[in-house]
Amino acid sequence: MDWAWRDAPVIAALTMLVAAKSRWGFLKCCDRLRLDGHGWNHKRLPVQPRQPVAVIPQPNAVWVVDFMSNTLYGDRRFRTPNVLDEDVREGLAIEMDTSLSVERVIRLVEQVVSWRGQPQAIRFDKGPEFIAEQFITWCTERAIQLSHEVRSKYSRLGS
């Protein structure tokens, strides 16, 4: 259906209003058009009733490994790698130290694998511990999928 003929009066009124009041913003122009008797359709579809999604949590499907850092009283910085099970929302391991190498992270994940079982995938940000060749080869030897998380300024990996 051609909407141009139906919207022609609104387009003409909006064009005249913008020409006369060039400093007005879009919302103010729309309010003025409503006061002048022009309707407004946001062209939104009606809300469909939501169906609950039946997701059965599976342990060891995806693990999330994330680092947090803080400072001690004497301005000494320490870091904690957190290993979380994403589906079950369970914290599996936390280790704290002032410096953590790739070997320490691999050892931490191996400890969790020894008592919990191997995950299907590990999700993480692109920190130096995870883009190291040792960690990538460790995961590929065990057929664990790697999922790099692009981290934004406002998001958290484990939330």
Local confidence pLDDT in tens for the 159 residues of the chain: 566 677 788 889 989 999 999 899 888 988 898 898 887 666 656 667 877 766 677 888 889 888 888 998 888 899 898 999 988 889 999 999 988 888 998 999 999 999 999 999 998 877 777 778 888 899 999 999 888 765 444 445 444
Express each pLDDT in 12-42 by its tens digit. 998 999 999 989 988 898 889 889 888 766 6
Question: How many other CB atoms sit within 10 Å of the CB of residue 100?
Answer: 17
Q: Is 40 helix (H, G, I), strand (E, B) or coil?
A: coil
Assigned domain for 27 exists:
yes
Cα angle value 58/104/79 (rounded, 5°): 85
- Residue 154: per-residue pLDDT: 44
The model's pTM: 0.58
Classify residue 53: in a domain, yes or no: no
Contacts of 126 (CB under 8 A, 6+ apart): 148, 149, 150, 151
Q: Are residues 29 and 70 in the same domain?
A: no
SS3 16: helix
| Locus of tokens 């999604």 | 53
Domain that holds residue 121: 62-149
Look at the chain and count its residues. 159
Whole-angstrom Cα distance, residue 137 to residue 157? Answer: 23
**Is 40 a domain residue?**
no
Domain count, the chain: 2
Backbone angles phi, psi at 11, to 5 degrees: -65, -40
DSSP code string of 102-154: HHHHHHHHHHHHHHH---SEEEEE--TTTSSHHHHHHHHHTT-EEEEEPP-SS
The answer as to whether 68 is a domain residue is yes
The whole-number pLDDT of residue 152 equals 46
pLDDT (0 to 100) of residue 3: 65
Residue 55 lies in a domain: no
Q: Which pLDDT score, from 0 to 100, does residue 153 have? A: 46
- Do 91 and 24 share a domain, yes or no? no
31 and 103 part of one domain: no
Shared-domain flag, residues 67 and 31: no
* 72 and 31, same domain (yes or no): no
Residue 42 has a pLDDT of 62
CATH number, position 116 = 3.30.420.10
